[in-house]
Amino acid sequence: MDHIIEAKQLHIERKHFRVEFRENDRGKFLRITEEAHGRRNTIIVPSTGLEEFNAAIEEVLAAERASV
């Protein structure tokens, strides 16, 4: 059974996002769920990869900002 440590919900345009930091017997992880038009997509990032995941997002956004 998962335990939610922290959660945040966002509504952006027609999409609903739920970002949850959770823990279960296998460890901690980030779960990001997108709901739009009756469909749901989820990604899960183990806590051991969160720094790398965040760095990749920052790198992509920095490249986008530089191109503007």
H helix intervals, the chain? 50-67
* Confidence at residue 6, expressed as pLDDT on a 0 to 100 scale: 98
Domains in the chain (CATH in brackets) are: 3-67 (3.10.450.700)
Q: What is the pLDDT along the chain (68 residues), one digit of tens a residue?
A: 899 999 999 999 999 999 999 999 999 999 999 999 999 999 999 999 999 999 999 999 999 999 97
Nearest to 3 by CA among 39, 31, 36, 34: 31
The rounded distance, in Å, linking the Cα atoms of 19 and 28 is 13
The rounded distance, in Å, linking the Cα atoms of 28 and 36 is 26
Residue 42 near residue 33 (C-beta atoms within 8 A)? yes
Entry pTM:
0.88
